[in-house]
Structure 1
Amino acid sequence: MARIAPKLRKAYTMCAQALVAERVSLDASEELGLNVDLPIFSVGQAGELADIHPQTLRQYDRLGLIVPQRTPGGARRYSLRDINRLSQAQRMSQEESINLAGITRILQLMEENRQLKRQNRQLRRRMEGNVVFEAAADGEVIEVQRVRRVREPSPYRRTILQITAR
């Protein structure tokens, strides 16, 4: 596991708190440039952020409800995506009395829905012609947003527009 700078760790922690408080979405976190799959939080940190006892986190892992990534030494590390799922699972369990099998299925469907919405946004941008592909520094092909210049209509066209508007 790579170590991250204290300021970046703080940004991830603040984002996790905002996710739990439902002030930000996972997609918005990604758009801010945060890697929502970066395994950064220990069991204790994740439990504190999501207000879940660490033993409950371990139980969720054993049941396959929320399976964190592991360090080479076997320690659990939770990502922003995991924190978001933990928070949602806790809410469904406590407030809506949904059983763990139901929570598992709901979380799967929510993630599938999020991915489909994301693909839909990408397809819309492509259809609108606002997307261009270019090579990144490492040679990977990336998608970038094209900026269109707005031209001032010619005086002739402006006159036609004024006449047709009447």
Structure 2
Amino acid sequence: MARLDREARALYEMCALALVESRANLDGADEVGFDIDLPIFSVGRTAELANIHPQTLRQYDRLGLIEPQRTGGGARRYSLRDIDRLVQAQRLSQEESVNLAGIARILDLQEENRQLRREIKRLSRPNGSSIFAADADGDIIEVQRSNQARLWRHEIQVHRRELTSGRSGGDMPQYPEDEKSVVLWSEYLD
């Protein structure tokens, strides 16, 4: 179970209630900084927040409709994403009379759609906000540039201009200590 201080837990509960009452959505919660996959709510608290009987939560888990994370002792812990799925499942079941197989498919498609929207948004960012590298398996991965790395790159460019104009007034800027990567280093020297 995630350890949160009282204020953080209260904020997560407020967010969960906003999801239940359709005053918020997962994308909005994610954008403002909530970890929507953080498993913090017990079965009892999730049942209270979502106004669902605890036995229904257990049944959804057995059917694979909502699969909460587990503590070391096996207790179920629900996240904001799980609560959103519960609310959607209840609405589809009670208001739309959709069976459980249909609910599972709809929820999966909604999540896929949400992930695609996030990917489109990520890819729509201005050029230069990411670089690409190879991971240990040789797969291409995206690496976000930090503000410190951007500042360092700017300092390198300024220093190069000074060198070529004969106005160099100091040492070459030092590479940021927290980003020692050959891939990043070589990319910044381009």
TM-score using structure 2 length:
0.68
Partner of 2:144: 142
Partner of 2:121: 121
- CA–CA distance in 2 between the matches of 1:86 and 1:144? 36
SS of residue in 1 equivalent to 2:35:
coil
Partner of 1:30: 30
Deviation (angstroms), 1:53: 0.2
- Name structure 1 gaps, 5 residues minimum: 135-139, 147-166
The reply to whether residue 94 of structure 1 matches residue 91 of structure 2 is no
The reply to whether residue 112 of structure 1 matches residue 116 of structure 2 is no
- CA–CA distance in 2 between the matches of 1:72 and 1:104? 27
Q: Deviations over 1:70-106 (max 9, x none)?
A: 0000000000000000000001111111000000000
Partner of 2:138: none
SS of residue in 1 equivalent to 2:65:
coil
Deviation (angstroms), 1:144: 6.4
Deviation (angstroms), 1:24: 0.9
| The structure with more radius of gyration | 2
Deviation (angstroms), 1:143: 5.2
The reply to whether residue 132 of structure 1 matches residue 129 of structure 2 is yes
- CA–CA distance in 1 between the matches of 2:146 and 2:125? 10
Deviating 4+ runs (over 6 angstroms): none
Partner of 2:65: 65
**RMSD across aligned positions (CA):** 2.0
Deviation (angstroms), 1:16: 0.3
- CA–CA distance in 1 between the matches of 2:145 and 2:49? 34
Partner of 2:186: none
Deviation (angstroms), 1:3: 1.4
Pairs within 5 Å for 1:36-47? 36-47=36-47
**Cα separation, partners in 2 of 1:117 and 1:85, compared to 1, 3 Å:** same
The reply to whether residue 16 of structure 1 matches residue 16 of structure 2 is yes
TM-score using structure 1 length:
0.78
- Name structure 2 gaps, 5 residues minimum: 132-141, 151-190
Q: Deviations over 1:34-93 (max 9, x none)?
A: 100000000011111111100000000000000000000000000000000000000111
Deviation (angstroms), 1:123: 1.0
Identity of aligned residues (%): 64
Give the conservation status (yes or no) of the 8 Å contact 1:39–1:77. yes
- CA–CA distance in 1 between the matches of 2:144 and 2:44? 37
Q: Deviations over 1:85-138 (max 9, x none)?
A: 000000111111100000000000000000001101111114xx3x5249xxxx
